[in-house]
Chains A and B, each alone.
Chain A
Amino acid sequence: MRIDTDAIDDRTVVCRLAGELDAYTAPDLRDTLAEHIRSGVAWIIADLGQLRYLDSTGLGILVGAAKQCRQAGGDLAVACDRRNLLKIFQISGTQEILNVVADVEAARARLQELAHSRQAGAGDAEEGT
């Protein structure tokens, strides 16, 4: 599996995965995502456009990273349009918690939407105090 990362800004990266994500390759992804989060990244787009295979170990890494992003005030979105991978997200019931959308543009839009709704929520909470 190959992982290439593009930084959009200090808090946002796109990780493009190519190849096969299984129990053998998943630690590389876990370490890469953890390193980004440690360095201050809170918004991650996992671009699976070139990924051919995904199993439960890989899903676990993505779910774990999404939790860490949320703890850091951000979130994770998955860009994926491959039918065999979408089936894995659907069966596992992880489409929503991983914000699975068709492509990177839609993933960026989804994360922006989440950021805005959280800002609005924080504003409401402030007004209420």
Chain B
Amino acid sequence: MASSNANTVELVLPGRSEFLQVARLATGGAAARAGLSVDDIEDLKVAVGEACTNVVDHAFGESTSEDNRRIILRMTVGRDEITIEVEDEGVGFDPAELERGRRDNYDGDGGLGFWLIKELTDSVRIESAPGSGTRVIMVKRASR
């Protein structure tokens, strides 16, 4: 279930790589509003960028039309923390597969993105199943 409240910003972006920068810019603005430091914001922009890149690269089947390739970016600004959801309506997957993305398997051909998300956020949760889309929920708190 998507979470939102009066401090939630929701954007729907085309699921194409040329819009990744837009997702990062929006993330930076919302994270600044939440009181995160410049360093924390840079970390979060990478994490959100990786989640959105996963949507662009993996979420949609060949038969998915351009109009249906969307990234939903939902940012809930809290006091000294922000929760960001990156959601798609794509093919979904078994989250257990992400174990393949560990750093020690990195060979320059991909698989590193989820590792970066885990390392650069305070918590991350993935809701997905084959055929039912994916939601990545990340929380970043202001460093003390």
Contacts and interface: CB of A to CB of B under 8 A. Distances in A.
A47 to B, nearest CB: 20
Contacts of B70: none
Given A56-B113, A92-B103, A92-B106, A84 B43 contact: yes
B18 A24 contact: yes
Contact of A55 (B50, B103, B106, B119): B50
Contacts of A24: 17-18, 20-21
Contact of A22 (B17, B115, B120): B17
Interface stretch (A7-15, A31-39, A60-68, A109-117): A60-68
B67 interface: no
The contact size tier of chain B is: 20 to 34
A67 B46 CA distance: 25
A23 B46 contact: no
Contacts of A64: 108-109
A54 B42 CA distance: 10
A79 B57 CA distance: 29
A64 B50 CA distance: 19
Interface residues of A, number: 22
Which applies to chain A's interface (DSSP): helix, strand, loop or mixed? helix
B66 to A, nearest CB: 16
A22 B46 CA distance: 10
A12 to B, nearest CB: 22
B97 interface: no
B112 A59 contact: yes
Interface in B89-107: 103-104, 106-107
B104 to A, nearest CB: 8
B49 A91 contact: no
A2 B106 CA distance: 27
Contacts of B119: 91
A15 to B, nearest CB: 17
A103 interface: no
Given A22-B20, A91-B116, A92-B116, 11 more contacts: A24-B20, A24-B21, A53-B24, A53-B49, A56-B53, A56-B110, A60-B110, A63-B106, A84-B43, A88-B46, A93-B104
